[in-house]
Each structure stands twice: as C-alpha cells, then as structure tokens.
Chains A and B, each alone.
Chain A
C-alpha cells in the first residue's frame, strides 16, 4: 500500500517523541529498582512463596509495577510505530492502528500480572 502524501503533524509527532523519551527515563529507573530487587531476592535461594510474600497485598509494589507497565505501554508502541513506518510500506493510519492494538495488548497482559500478584494469597 502506498502512503498518501504525508501531512506533517508537527505537534502530534513531537508529543509522541517526547512521550517516548520521558517514558524511557521512567523505564530506566524502574529497571534499576527491578534489578536490584531481583539480586536481593535471589540471595539465599528463590522461592515462589517469598515473592508472593513480598508483593501480594503490597500497595507500594502494586503502584511501582503499575507505573512500570504504564511506561512500557507508552514507550514500546511508539517505538514499534517508528520501526513499522521505516521498515514496511503500510500506510500511516494502518501503522497507528497496529500500534494502538499493541498498546492495548501490552496493557492487558501487564496489568493482569500486576493485579494478579497484588491479589494473590487472599491479601487484597
């Protein structure tokens, strides 16, 4: 499919670019916290019970992982959009639709996990 003469939407494109950079900064912080936690958690062996004990019912961990997922929901689809518009001949509208679907998909999967851990063990 051929792309129509692109009407540059400067404002929108720049906002998306900005959203991706800002979400990348949030991700960088989240990944550091996540890695430090993992390294701490595996000291003296890893058990499902220990993980559930930490995150289940914890509002702090719930909020942290919710922010983490939200950042990915913003960051990854915008990046995917850049790759698709460069590497495929799909129209801009179609690329936008695909990336919107990707965002929903990541959001549903991500928040299901976060909610699942929060409510595990009957704590919530």
Chain B
C-alpha cells in the first residue's frame, strides 16, 4: 500500500450527472464496495448504491469500476488501481440510471421472463422426485450455466445490448439454455421460439465480452451457441412457426 488515502471519482446524478471526487482512507484488503460504503457512511449519506450480501452471492452490487463492469464486493481496490492510482466508480452501462450508482434492473429481468427463463415441469407434488443422473451430458451442460447470480455484469459488458434494445442479452439466454438442458423441463419448443429471431440468440456476434467479464466465470457465449444450434435444427423441422 503506497498511499494513506485514495482519491475516488464517483458518478453523482442520473443519466445526466458528473463525477465527484472523494478522499477515502486506504485499508488492507479494501474492496470497491468498502470504499463506496465509507463515502456513504462518513462523507455523504445521500449517495445511492445497492448491496446486500457483501460476499458475492446476491448479485446486487455491480458497478462500472475504472471502465469495466464488476461485482464491487469481490473487487479489491489493489487489483483495479492503475499506475496513476486512479479509481472511477460509475453505474452499470446499458441500464437506466435511477440515481448515482443505482440502475433500474427492470429491463434486465423482464428479458429473462421474455426468454422463458422460468422452469416448466410436467409433474406435481404428488409425483416422486425426478432422478437426473449427475453424469448425463445434459445435466453437465445445465450445471455449467446454473451458477448465475443475476448481477447484470455481462449485460453491461455486451455491445449488442447497447446497440439493439430488443436483444435479450447474455444472462437471459444463458438461463434459457440451462433450462433447455433440464431434463424435467417441458417448455422446449416454446422457449426456442422465444429466443430465436430479431432480439434473440442470432443477434449475438460471439465476441465474448460477457465471458471475459462474468463474475462466476460462466460461458454465456457458449450457451448462446447452443441455442443457435438448437433453434437452427428446430427451424429446419419447421417447429418455430
């Protein structure tokens, strides 16, 4: 640790706003969320931001840190400071800013629903538990995408989301692919219809910004490639009408 205090530029305002500078005492193992919390507790209680778990579980603390989307509770200041010792914290890109560091996540989650991100089973509580082998190829594909915490970091990193307001985005499509591989789920063709077309999986350019940034090291691009294959096969069979 080279300095006693850290100068942080924090976005204040809504879509229109400006960066404001704060001096925050440096601490060992300090996270970006610690810095923001310090400002809110000790300097300016009107600073708005979100967090809940502080340990990388809830997915509510994502912000743009030095230009890249990150989960701030698991991002150490040491790791993101550049040579000039600069720290900029802004709201997530691609979502409307409510105030300061809080964004409106409505579009993000509405698109999960639009991609049919809900589980649809055929059995009832009276049926026995389904037995899904942990070794089945489908179960392995589902497991690969299941750990998403819905933080919106990938959504913020994706240029196609920025360009095409209808694009469902990496997280919703990753969720859809997870369900396509859930052996108990029965909404298959309806879900493929929901994720094919103008704002669907075909809009993805496979540039993997989402993969690079995903906080859980998931591979949404891979999931989207799976959906592209599955929708192509369904379209050839005329099932997407």
A interface residues with partner B (beta carbon < 8 Å):
6, 8-15, 17-18, 21, 82, 85-87, 92
Contacts and interface: CB of A to CB of B under 8 A. Distances in A.
Interface residues on B, range: 20 to 34
B164 A8 contact: no
Contacts, number: 58
Main secondary structure, interface of B, reads helix
A15 B232 CA distance: 7
A18 B231 CA distance: 10
A21 B225 CA distance: 13
Nearest to A9: B197
Interface of A is mostly: helix
A86 B164 contact: yes
B235 A6 contact: no
A54 to B, nearest CB: 38
Interface of B: 160, 163-164, 166, 192-194, 196-200, 202-203, 228, 231-232, 234-236, 238, 240-241
Contact of B198 (A8, A11, A18, A21): A8
B235 A14 contact: yes
B209 to A, nearest CB: 15
A96 to B, nearest CB: 11
